């Protein structure tokens, strides 16, 4: 990319999360000159996906973010005129907190791992760093003997990408990354001595009574780093949802591939069981009696057109959905299925919201498979890149690792006129779209943020065994007590291109009440057994073994009104980060709402033109071989634009 950019644009977008990427595609498609910037080294922001080594690099970047002063940037004060004022942007990302990493998989020191240069054989001897700040309760890892992270060092260098694999760019980090446990701004590093490792290392010869499983070591995970695509935010696509409709309408769907979620699971009385979704599933279920099957089918049929029968629910509008279900003669078993596995709502949600959620689930059945959900191959992080690619096709310019120092505001009109980047270049535009995490503390001083608790696990088998080991499952674990939130569990198999063979990638999500580990660890213990625990009773052997775990809290900036931000110019628009919901409806609605507000007379992401219908400037005849490359050349203003375009298309499979 050239050092200097064009100085005039119609729209400048800061951040490459899903709503910003959809907006970039919509603006570029409508003929606007779009500059799309991100200070990070990868696309997606908090919507991104990483390889395993890339995720470790991301963790390292957050640690450096809090420990190291900002790099020197060009001075911008001299570029502000007397009639202007500056609104500075945040210098570091503070949306992720309470990061904790635990490695349970054994380290086989005899493995030949020199090929990837991804692991140092000699663990470093380190001491937990001291800090003047009081430790959070989640940082007190010494309370639990099994929650120690081994201190093997990992560099962030990426290995060459094999054919057919897709992953995000991650900045190379020269120094190595010790397996660390991050506690907010603090780092607690725990190492296991060689003697301890030999004692704790499971010996397969002695485990003759255990079910035969493939032994997965930490070295193997590092070796197969490129096989992992780990999402920062765990979401699925409703087959009749807004995002699927937008992908199809705009033809962005051609840039991605999807798989059906194969199972809906329920956690009841300490057991995981499959929930019947379709009519055939209901009547083939061995978990339900014949009477329960008829009652369930009658209730689900009612939910499909509940608006036509107001007499059946109007009296319960003020009640919770859980209380309403009790009045419908549903057994406790059926109430559990409907509430936690079909509606997937909290017990306290209203009757109307519960009926809406149930109807939405049912109407999505059968469009692409037996469940309502789709999952994008290579992870959720592919979706923002798909829209970035559409923007690039229609002439948008992309710059990663490009920081913006401030917004330039005209004092008289109160409108933003330009941005000043880290190179000291002033770039003018008519409209500015900024992701919430870039706004300064002063701008956000009155904003009350929610938090999302997240866990990412690597396990050695599925939480519910089936004939096929290639299952994509979603499970909602109900809260153990009232006042706490249910935990959503998504389990991905290797055919989703998100994990290596013989492993599963498990995502846990809930609204935060404490730190992520405090919110989610109890559910992890119910469903999984840490690999390091060698003395386990036979009941515990039925659980999948936990090989590696990451906990962190992510800011939820959805639902923040514009009026909550201080001194925001009228032509500056804010996009939120990921919300806690299962689908992507909020991001799509927000993008469409902001686009219609900025360009009320333009259609939002219309279908792309037929290549044969494109008229080339200065050429009345049709091109000999029309195609997508011709579209790009027709829409780019100059060759300079293509030089400045850091196309995300190379990360996507056509």
DSSP 592-646: HHHHHHH-TTS-SSPPPPPGGGPPBTTB-SPPSS-SHHHHHHHH-S-HHHHHH--
Do residues 95 and 554 make contact, with C-beta atoms less than 8 angstroms apart? yes
User: What is the rounded CA–CA span in Å between residue 413 and residue 419?
Assistant: 16
Q: Write the pLDDT tens digit of every residue in 442-471.
A: 999 999 999 999 999 999 999 999 888 899
pLDDT tier at 67 (50, 70, 90 boundaries)?
A: low
Tell me the average pLDDT of the chain.
Answer: 78
User: What is the rounded CA–CA span in Å between residue 453 and residue 449?
Assistant: 13
Do residues 98 and 136 make contact, with C-beta atoms less than 8 angstroms apart? yes
Q: Write the pLDDT tens digit of every residue in 196-251.
A: 434 333 333 344 444 456 688 999 999 999 999 999 999 999 999 999 999 999 99
Question: Helices marked H in 9-70 — which ranges?
Answer: 18-29, 52-67
Q: Write the pLDDT tens digit of every residue in 238-249.
A: 999 999 999 999
**pLDDT at 66 > cutoff 90:** no
What's the confidence (pLDDT) of residue 292? Answer: 85
Q: Which tokens is 163 given?
A: 């054919």
Report which of 185, 150, 188 is spatially closest to residue 64, judged by C-alpha positions. 185
Do residues 461 and 182 make contact, with C-beta atoms less than 8 angstroms apart? no
Average pLDDT over residues 367-384: 94
Q: Residue 6: helix, strand or coil by DSSP?
A: coil
Helix (H) or strand (E) holding 518: helix 516-527
What's the confidence (pLDDT) of residue 369? Answer: 85
Please, what are the domains in the chain? Answer: 8-92+378-447+559-598 (3.50.50.60), 281-364 (1.10.405.10)
Q: Between the CA atoms of 223, 229, 231 and 234, what dihedral angle is there, to the nearest 10 degrees?
A: -120
pLDDT tier at 617 (50, 70, 90 boundaries)?
A: low
Q: Write the pLDDT tens digit of every residue in 405-424.
A: 999 999 999 999 999 998 88
**For the chain, percent of residues with pLDDT exceeding 70:** 73
What's the confidence (pLDDT) of residue 549? Answer: 96
Report which of 216, 22, 139 is spatially closest to residue 514, judged by C-alpha positions. 139
**pLDDT at 50 > cutoff 60:** yes
User: What is the rounded CA–CA span in Å between residue 297 and residue 334?
Assistant: 11
Q: Which tokens is 366 given?
A: 């059968």
User: What is the rounded CA–CA span in Å between residue 217 and residue 103?
Assistant: 10
What's the confidence (pLDDT) of residue 74? Answer: 60
**pLDDT at 61 > cutoff 80:** yes
Report which of 404, 570, 406, 399 is spatially closest to residue 16, judged by C-alpha positions. 399
Measure the CA angle with vertex 493, ends 492 and 498; round to 5°: 70
Among the residue ranges 90-99, 285-294, 322-331, 536-545, the one predicted with the least confidence is 536-545
What's the confidence (pLDDT) of residue 276? Answer: 80
* More confident position, 284 or 579: 579
pLDDT tier at 155 (50, 70, 90 boundaries)?
A: very low
Q: Write the pLDDT tens digit of every residue in 260-308.
A: 999 999 998 888 988 887 777 777 777 788 888 888 889 989 999 999 9
Q: Which tokens is 354 given?
A: 């519960």
**pLDDT at 510 > cutoff 90:** yes
Helix (H) or strand (E) holding 421: strand 416-421
User: What is the rounded CA–CA span in Å between residue 307 and residue 313?
Assistant: 9
What's the confidence (pLDDT) of residue 154? Answer: 33
User: What is the rounded CA–CA span in Å between residue 239 and residue 260?
Assistant: 9
**pLDDT at 68 > cutoff 50:** no
What's the confidence (pLDDT) of residue 212? Answer: 56
Supply φ then ψ for residue 124, to 5 degrees. Answer: -80, 145
User: What is the rounded CA–CA span in Å between residue 637 and residue 639?
Assistant: 7
Unique residue bearing structure tokens 């309760």: 137
Q: Write the pLDDT tens digit of every residue in 528-578.
A: 998 765 445 555 567 899 999 999 999 999 989 999 999 999 999 999 999
* More confident position, 383 or 628: 383
The DSSP code sequence of 252-282 is GGGG--EEE--EEEEEETTEEEEPP-SHHHH
The DSSP code sequence of 112-127 is --TTTT---SS-----
pLDDT tier at 150 (50, 70, 90 boundaries)?
A: very low
Average pLDDT over residues 603-618: 75
Among the residue ranges 157-171, 276-290, 420-434, the one predicted with the least confidence is 157-171
Average pLDDT over residues 518-530: 93
Measure the CA angle with vertex 626, ends 624 and 627; round to 5°: 150
Q: Residue 22: helix, strand or coil by DSSP?
A: helix
Task: Specify the pTM.
Answer: 0.78
Unique residue bearing structure tokens 């980090």: 173
What's the confidence (pLDDT) of residue 8? Answer: 95
Q: Between the CA atoms of 621, 622, 623 and 625, what dihedral angle is there, to the nearest 10 degrees?
A: -150
DSSP 101: E
Do residues 620 and 134 make contact, with C-beta atoms less than 8 angstroms apart? no
What's the confidence (pLDDT) of residue 113? Answer: 44
Q: Which residues contact 376 (CB under 8 A, 6 or more apart)?
A: 237, 256, 257, 258, 382, 383
């Amino acid at each position: 990319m050239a050092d200097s950019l064009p100085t005039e644009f119609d729209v400048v977008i800061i951040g490459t999360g899903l709503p910003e990427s959809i907006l970039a595609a919509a603006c570029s498609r409508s003929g606007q000159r779009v500059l799309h910037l991100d200070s990070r080294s990868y696309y997606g922001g908090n919507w991104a996906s990483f390889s395993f080594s890339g995720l470790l690099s991301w963790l390292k970047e957050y640690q450096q973010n809090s420990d190291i002063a900002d790099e020197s940037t060009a001075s911008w004060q001299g570029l502000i005129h007397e009639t202007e004022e500056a609104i500075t942007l945040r210098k570091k990302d503070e949306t992720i907190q309470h990061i904790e990493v635990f490695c349970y998989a054994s380290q086989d020191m005899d493995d030949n791992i020199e090929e990837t240069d991804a692991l140092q054989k000699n663990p470093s001897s380190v001491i937990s760093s001291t800090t003047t700040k009081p430790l959070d309760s989640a940082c007190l890892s010494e309370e639990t003997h099994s929650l120690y992270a081994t201190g093997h060092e990992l560099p962030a260098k990426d290995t060459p990408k094999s054919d057919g694999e897709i992953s995000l760019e991650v900045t190379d980090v020269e120094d190595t990354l010790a397996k660390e446990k991050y506690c907010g701004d603090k780092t607690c590093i725990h190492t296991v001595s060689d003697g301890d490792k030999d004692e704790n290392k499971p010996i397969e010869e002695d485990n003759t009574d255990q079910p035969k499983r493939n032994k997965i070591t930490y070295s193997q995970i590092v070796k197969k780093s490129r096989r992992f695509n780990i999402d920062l935010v765990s979401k699925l696509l409703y087959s009749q949802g807004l995002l699927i409709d937008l992908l199809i309408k705009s033809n962005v769907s051609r840039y991605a591939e999807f798989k059906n979620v194969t199972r809906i699971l329920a956690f009841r009385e300490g057991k995981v069981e499959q929930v019947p979704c379709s009519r055939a599933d209901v009547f083939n279920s061995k978990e339900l009696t014949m009477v329960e099957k008829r009652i369930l089918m009658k209730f689900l049929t009612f939910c499909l057109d509940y608006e036509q029968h107001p007499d059946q629910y109007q009296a319960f509008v003020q009640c919770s959905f859980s209380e309403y279900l009790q009045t419908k003669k549903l057994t406790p078993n059926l109430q559990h299925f409907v509430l936690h596995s079909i509606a997937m709502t909290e017990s306290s949600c209203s009757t109307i919201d519960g009926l809406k959620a149930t109807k939405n689930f049912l109407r999505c059945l059968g469009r692409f498979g037996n469940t309502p959900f789709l999952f994008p191959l290579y992870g959720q992080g592919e979706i923002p890149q798909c829209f970035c690619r559409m923007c690039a096709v229609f002439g948008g310019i992309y710059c990663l690792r490009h920081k913006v120092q401030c917004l330039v505001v005209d004092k008289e009109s109160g409108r933003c006129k330009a941005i000043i980047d880290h190179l000291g270049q002033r770039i003018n535009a008519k409209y500015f779209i900024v992701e919430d995490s870039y706004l300064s503390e002063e701008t956000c001083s009155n904003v009350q943020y929610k938090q999302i608790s997240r866990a990412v696990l690597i396990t050695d088998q599925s939480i519910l065994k089936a004939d096929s080991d290639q299952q994509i499952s979603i499970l909602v674990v109900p809260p153990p007590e009232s006042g706490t939130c249910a935990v959503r569990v998504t389990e991905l198999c290797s055919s989703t291109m998100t994990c290596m063979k013989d492993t599963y990638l498990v995502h846990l999500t809930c609204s935060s009440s404490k730190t992520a580990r405090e919110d989610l660890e109890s559910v992890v213990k119910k469903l999984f057994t840490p690999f390091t625990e060698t003395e386990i009773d036979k009941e515990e052997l039925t659980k999948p073994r936990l090989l590696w775990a990451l906990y962190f809290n992510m800011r939820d900036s959805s639902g923040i009104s514009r009026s909550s931000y201080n001194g925001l110019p009228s032509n500056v628009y804010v996009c939120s980060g990921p919300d806690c919901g299962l689908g992507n409806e909020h991001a799509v609605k927000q993008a469409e709402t902001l686009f219609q507000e900025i360009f009320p007379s333009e259609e939002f992401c219309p279908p792309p033109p037929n290549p044969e219908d494109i008229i080339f400037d200065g050429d009345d005849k049709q091109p000999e071989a029309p195609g997508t490359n011709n579209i790009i050349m027709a829409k780019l203003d100059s060759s300079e634009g293509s030089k400045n375009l850091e196309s995300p298309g190379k990360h996507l499979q056509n």
